[in-house]
Amino acid sequence: MLTLTKNASTIVKDISSQPGLPEGAGLRITSDSDTEPAFAVSAAEAPEPGDQVVEQSGATVYLDETAAVMLEDKVLDATVDPSGKVEFALGTQE
């Protein structure tokens, strides 16, 4: 199952606690491709039917079925650049 670094957990919590989002909101990761890893990331109020829910250190991530399979052995990391843009990166679990 996808795991999150401490930085990623903090950033996901910040994103999902933005004004206008309900309690329990999270970050949703989707993939339209079974072959090439290409992911879309967005804030989500709740999981969609079939989503895998990953909860870690107070952060919630929803993965569509394709993304859940592709990210099963990955670690999600995140940083914020000087301009405030969030950048996500994937690594392999040890």
Percentage above 90 pLDDT, the chain:
84
pLDDT of 75 strictly over 80: yes
Tokens 């290409």 label which residue?
A: 38
Q: Which of 73, 83, 80, 79 minimizes the C-alpha distance to 37?
A: 73
pLDDT of residue 87: 94
pLDDT of residue 34: 61
Which tens digits make up the pLDDT trace of 5-34? 999 999 999 999 989 899 889 999 999 766
pLDDT of 38 strictly over 90: no
Residues 44 and 29 sit within 8 Å (Cβ to Cβ) = no
> Domains of the chain (ranges plus CATH)?
3-92 (2.60.300.12)
Whole-structure pTM value = 0.90
According to DSSP, the residues that pair with 90 across neighbouring strands are 76
